[in-house]
Structure 1
Amino acid sequence: MMKALQLSKELEGSLPSLSLTNLPTPTPTLDCALIKIQYSCIHPSDRYNSIGGFPKTSFPRIPGRDYSGTVIALGRDSVDMRSQWIGKTVYGTGGAELGFRMDGPHAQYCVVLEKLLVEKPTSLSMIQAATVGVPFTTALRCLTRARVQADDIVLVLGAKGAVGSSVVQVAQAMGCKRVLTATRNKLDNPDVLLDWDIDVEFLGKIPSLTDGKGVNVVIDTIGKLDIMNAAIHALAVKGRYAWIAAPRGGAPTKLSLNIFEAYRKEIELIGCNSGLATIDDVAEEMQKLTQFFERTLIQARDESSMNVVNLDDAVEKGYKISPEKQTVLKMF
């Protein structure tokens, strides 16, 4: 048996409830591996999933997306695969599957597909490795879909957040010419400050930072319409705007776009949804990111910035609060 968090529903139309329970330790099926989970992060998407935010989630379901741990069993009896993976320390994330349609890693053991197995880089601690999957794969996905190139100037909206800071690092690792930052906090010393008249700030800063040409790529991790309108206007000719967030809580979601300007400049709007990432997408992204980590081109946040919570306390101290520090579950 193992300890696990489990989302369940009493009625089809009701909200899910989250509880700590004891479940049989799963057995890996063909092309799968059983991982003894050491740490697993609670991302905002995990909390959103726990209150019924994702219609695709099936119940009952163990939540969680990112993890670090050790491979202890394989579903197929292959000598080569066993020698390659049994006992190896791995890390990863599950894209649109783990925590939604497959049981996730907020448990002491988790079954994952073999193609998702990635050995943990030595540059990452076990705690750090359990936090990087969602933010860094989302960052890479945005930059890839925006087709960033070495001579691009990239503007990152929300550059101090989990995804935004990952975008800054990955864009630099990919060799982008320059990466500009935009945040709400003056103490961040951003290139663009987002706490006052947005249009004036963009108009006053972007031309001088780009020789009057505008930015080639905007990656938006905030999703506020006033910022979005100003940033789209700051795009260069053939600029690309990729975003992962939208207003919530009943706020307006319809964007006012200057069609004349958009087609004259041939700009592109690119929505990015990590929830649509396939297993193959995630496997490719994690391999690419692992190379960046191994070459120390990108780095995870320091452990001191994380709040480590025991699995026994996960519901009250992990899911029901949203601390400033990133929350990581310790399984044993």
Structure 2
Amino acid sequence: MHTMLAAYLPGNDTVEMRQVPVPTPGIGQVLIRMRASGICGSDVHYIYHGHRGTASHPEPLYQGVVNGHEPCGQIVAVGDGCRHFRPDDRVLVYHISGCGFCANCRRGYQISCTGRQKAAYGWQRDGGHAEFLVAEERDLIALPDSLTYEDGAFISCGIGTAYEGVTRADVSGSDSVLVVGLGPIGMAAAMIAKGRGAKRIIGVDTQPARLDAMRALGLADYLIPASPDALEQIRELTRGGADVALDCSGNAAGRLLALQGSGDWGRVVYLGETGHVQFEVSADLMHRQRRIFGSWVTSLANMEKCCHDLEDWKLKPHTMISHRFPLERADEAYALMASGRCGKVVITFDV
């Protein structure tokens, strides 16, 4: 029996490496040789530190499977019934496999599937931190030739999430865009806003290293360290407030800054997970005619469109990756991601 190396997260800030059988694709499934597999902040919050649930799903979300919900690779075998993809195709995997029948699945938003069959790769079914992955053919998106496997891994969650937020705010060339929180999602949001032609992009973060990374990549026109006068600086740069504000910090102060940093009729999108925010409903929302959108991941169709847009815009998400590790050093990769002293971290595979 052929075996492969795979990473598991026992929930105590460690990574456990195991030798497990190489899986066999079933009906409607494909076997993918992994080429790149990202680490997401949600993996750290909900699995690496401890197997936690959420307020709406209090039971642990992680079910002891191979971790990694940002997979990208090349098909090596297909099961019976596959009609659209073939061996050697380059693909990324939409990281939620839904029931296919609920209203959200019908819209392509498997992330919000309400069926019992819902299973996230790396959470409730085996994910991409192994040499091979079995995926449903219906969850695949073709990776354009101009994009790398690392690009595909980043698109499968982080870039896709940013793309949804930016498109939900309908960013265009007449908009000034404020991005609060310049981790991987914030950097991705700035890149997507740039691709859509935003006339001005302003980035805010507490960490000088993240501001330096944004500056080096040329993803923002103005960079502001988080401080008591950040709001006034934003208003001065935008004639009173940004047309669109994207909070990618998941921090109460960051969320408030994004709301207050938007102008009259501003569109505000909350992308950062967890935590709370408090604001004056009349002064901060109603009287300024602002709108707040909650945005969670993206749809299968929008993720596919994101690939094509990035290709046409000639933008490369992999330029935002700060660290790469082989699978054998997954423990180091997770420890670094958990420290917060990095940008995007990706597991790469030599073939």
TM range (shorter): 0.7 to 0.9
> What does 1:283-322 align with in structure 2 at a 5 Å threshold?
283-302=300-319, 306-315=322-331, 317-322=332-337
Whether the aligned pair in 1 keeps the contact of 2:7 and 2:16 (CA below 8 Å) is: yes
Match of residue 48 from structure 2:
50
* More displaced 10-residue stretch of structure 1: 232-241 or 187-196: 187-196
Calculate the TM-score normalised by the size of structure 2: 0.76
* 1:37 correspondence with 2:37: no
TM-score by length of 1: 0.80
Counterpart contact for 1:310–1:330, Cα < 8 Å? yes
Distance 1:263 1:28, change over 3 A: same
Partners of 1:28 and 1:218 lie apart in 2 by 43
1:6 alignment partner in structure 2:
8
Shift, 1:128, TM fit = 4.0
SS in structure 1 of the partner of residue 287 of structure 2: helix
Aligned mate of 2:75, from 71, 74, 96: 71
Could you say if the C-alpha distance between residues 8 and 28 of structure 1 is closer, same or farther in structure 2, counting changes exceeding 3 Å? Answer: farther
Q: Secondary structure at the match of 1:85?
A: coil
Q: Residues 57 and 168 of structure 1: is their aligned pair in 2 closer, same or farther, counting only changes over 3 Å?
A: same
Deviation at 1:233, TM superposition (A): 2.3
What pairs up with 1:157-168 in 2 under 5 angstroms?
157-159=180-182, 161-168=183-190
Is the Cα contact below 8 Å between 1:64 and 1:106 reproduced in 2? yes
Greater Rg, structure 1 or structure 2? 1
Amino acid paired to 1:309: F
For 2:274 and 2:62, locate their aligned partners in 1 and report how far apart those are by CA, in whole Å. 26
Distance 1:113 1:217 in 2: 36
Unmatched tracts of structure 1, length 5 or more: 10-14
Paired letter, 1:287: E
Structure 2: unaligned runs, 5 residues or longer: 54-59, 97-110, 112-119
CA deviation map 1:49-88 (0-9, x unaligned):
223354252422111011221112223245x53xx42211
Task: Name 1:180's counterpart in structure 2.
Answer: 202
**1:126-137 equivalences in 2 (<5 Å):** 126-137=149-160
Q: 1:195 to 1:153 in 2, by over 3 A?
A: closer
The separation in 1 between residues aligned to 2:81 and 2:249, in whole angstroms, is 47
Q: Does 1:228 pair with 2:255?
A: yes
The change in CA–CA distance for 1:157 and 1:35 in structure 2 (over 3 A counts) is same
List aligned pairs for 1:18-33, cutoff 5 A: 18-33=15-30
**What is the CA–CA distance in structure 1 between the aligned matches of 2:51 and 2:279, rounded to whole Å?**
27
The alignment covers a number of residue pairs equal to 307
Report the CA distance shift for 1:111/1:223 in structure 2 as closer, same or farther (over 3 A).
same
1:194 equivalent to 2:228? Answer no
Distance of 1:226 and 1:52 partners within structure 2:
25
Q: Secondary structure at the match of 2:317?
A: coil
Q: How does 1:81-120 map to 2 (within 5 A)?
A: 81=84, 84-95=85-96, 96=111, 97-120=120-143
**How far apart are the structure 2 equivalents of 1:39 and 1:229?**
35
Counterpart Cα distance in 2 of 1:247 and 1:290: 28
Counterpart amino acid of residue 48 in structure 2: S
Kept in 2: contact 1:27–1:34 (CA 8 A): yes
**Aligned partners of 2:35 and 2:223: how far apart in 1?**
39
- How far residue 291 of structure 1 moved from its aligned partner, in angstroms, is 0.6
Q: Is the 8 A contact 1:307 1:326 kept in 2?
A: yes
The residue type equivalent to 2:145 in the other structure is T
Please state how far the C-alpha of 1:40 moved relative to its aligned partner: 1.4
For residue 203 of structure 1, what is the amino acid of its counterpart?
A: E
For the aligned residues, what is the CA RMSD? 2.9
Q: 1:105 Cα shift?
A: 0.6
Q: Percent identity?
A: 21
Q: Deviations over 1:257-298 (max 9, x none)?
A: 242442122212223333xx5xxx1x2132111112321442
| Alpha-carbon spacing, 1:215–1:150, altered in 2? closer, same or farther (3 Å) | same
Name the CA distance, whole Å, in 2 between partners of 1:106 and 1:204.
Answer: 43
Which consecutive aligned stretches of 4+ in structure 1 deviate over 6 angstroms post-superposition? none
Matches of 2:13 and 2:40 in 1, distance apart? 18
CA distance in 1, matches of 2:177, 2:148: 30
1:190 positional shift: 5.9
- Determine the C-alpha separation between the residues in 1 that align with 2:334 and 2:14: 11
Give the distance between the partners of 2:164 and 2:51, measured in 1 at CA: 22
Deviation of 1:163 after TM superposition, in Å, equals 1.2
Q: 2:266 aligns with which of 236, 239, 242?
A: 239
Contact 1:39–1:67 (Cα < 8 Å) also in 2: yes
Residues 82-114 of structure 1 deviation map (CA, whole Å, 9 limit, x = unaligned): xx4221122344145111122111111111221
- Verify the 8 A CA contact 2:63 2:125 in the aligned structure 1: no
- 2:237 paired residue among 203, 209, 216: 209
